[in-house]
Structure 1
Amino acid sequence: METNNTNYSFRKAEMADAAKVWEIIAQAIERRRRDGSTQWQDGYPNPTSIQNDIADGWGYVIEIGSEIAAYCALIFDMEPAYEKIEGKWHSDGPYAVLHRMAVSDAFAGQGLAKAIFREAEKTVLQSGIKTIKVDTNFDNAAMLSILKSLGYQYRGEVYFRGSARKAFEKTLME
């Protein structure tokens, strides 16, 4: 589904956004639990994770009007867990990583998850990087569907905190 609201902005998160971002992440944690997923059910992410994202310049939000509607961490640094993959990455060059993506319950079903991926991809290209990598839990059906629809290719399994995660990669075109 394409976003019903094209009047949004994508911007770096500020520390003043941390409480609202955490509220959105907490909603997503509960959504994962209700869906029967094990993803994000172990105390991570947490408010400190979000504050660290923002302090490191990795946090981004989609804002509609003056309300934060979605969040992601867009990281322009190596992801240590991606160095050991059961499978094979297509690209060995520089890459960006999308982590901790969530949409507010108030904006769910409006296509903002895809919008945040598209905005992240534009930001990555503008930085001169041509590859974005992401992972998700095997039981996160919504995210698996989004990744497939946006052309992300399954590359194998990576491990976070002892659990296998499905790893995906997309080569970006200008």
Structure 2
Amino acid sequence: MMKLALAQEQNIPRIMALIDQAKAFLKANGVDQWQDGYPDRPCIEKDIEDKIGYLCLLGGKIVGYLCIDFCGERAYDSINGRWISDQPYVVVHRLALDNSVKGRGLTSGVLELVEDMARKRDVHSFKMDTDQDNDIMKHVLQKNGFSYCGTICFDNSEKIAYEKLI
């Protein structure tokens, strides 16, 4: 059973290994996302400092990393399109799963755990974004009930924005 746990500073080497795996996976699949250095170690250190960096644990083993943020995303304030709602939301960034667990539906499981976390905080909107060429993530989001809302500018590039009411 998958669990989420706050990441700690001592987890950074494992997290960076997961991020590097994800960067290689994206590149091998022709996706330009994460090919410019982002996310880097200072970004992950800031997630941990802000207590928004989470480990994905499977049988006690670290198999993934993600940022779960309830404070909003400034880039989402300006959308070329329209959000479904204007209520408080949770956003996930920097989701990376170990190659050894890919293809087992764990991304959907992680998203469900984030939804549970949001409901416990009385937050009923879940927003995410991805690159235009990241067909894998677009498929996962659509499969999990997210709706396309438009595009946003994040990290100096256009991203595809999604929202799901939960």
TM range (shorter): over 0.9
Q: Deviations over 1:97-122 (max 9, x none)?
A: 11101101122122211111111111
1:36 to 30, 33, 36: 30
Superposition TM-score, scaled by structure 2 size: 0.96
Q: CA RMSD in A?
A: 1.0
Sequence identity (%): 33
- In structure 2, the residue corresponding to 1:39 is in which secondary structure? coil
1:127 maps onto 2:121 in alignment: yes
What is the CA distance between 1:8 and its match in structure 2?
Answer: 3.0
- The structure 2 residue matched to 1:169, chosen from 152, 163, 166, is 163
What does 1:58-73 correspond to in 2, within 5 Å? Answer: 58-73=52-67
What amino acid does structure 2 have at the position aligned with 1:108? K
Specify the SS of the correspondent of 2:118.
Answer: helix
For 2:94, give the aligned amino acid: R
Match of 1:48 in 2: 42
Q: Distance in 2 between matches of 1:162 and 1:59?
A: 23
- Superposed CA deviations along residues 31-85 of structure 1, whole A, max 9, x for unmatched, are 1111111101111101111111111111112112332011110001121100010
SS at match of 1:142: helix
Q: Give aligned pairs, total.
A: 166
Matches within 5 A, 1:70-81: 70-81=64-75
1:115 paired to 2:76: no
Instruction: Name structure 1 gaps, 5 residues minimum.
Output: 1-6
The runs of at least 4 consecutive aligned structure 1 residues that moved more than 3 Å come to none
Query: Secondary structure of the equivalent of 1:51?
Result: helix
Measure, in 2, the Cα distance between the counterparts of 1:107 and 1:47.
Answer: 23
Instruction: Tell me which residue corresponds to 1:4.
Output: none
Stretches of structure 2 lacking an aligned partner (at least 5 in a row): none
Q: Indicate if the aligned counterparts of 1:136 and 1:167 stay in contact, CA closer than 8 A.
A: yes
Letter in 2 for 1:66: G
Q: Within 1, Cα distance between the matches of 2:139 and 2:92?
A: 16
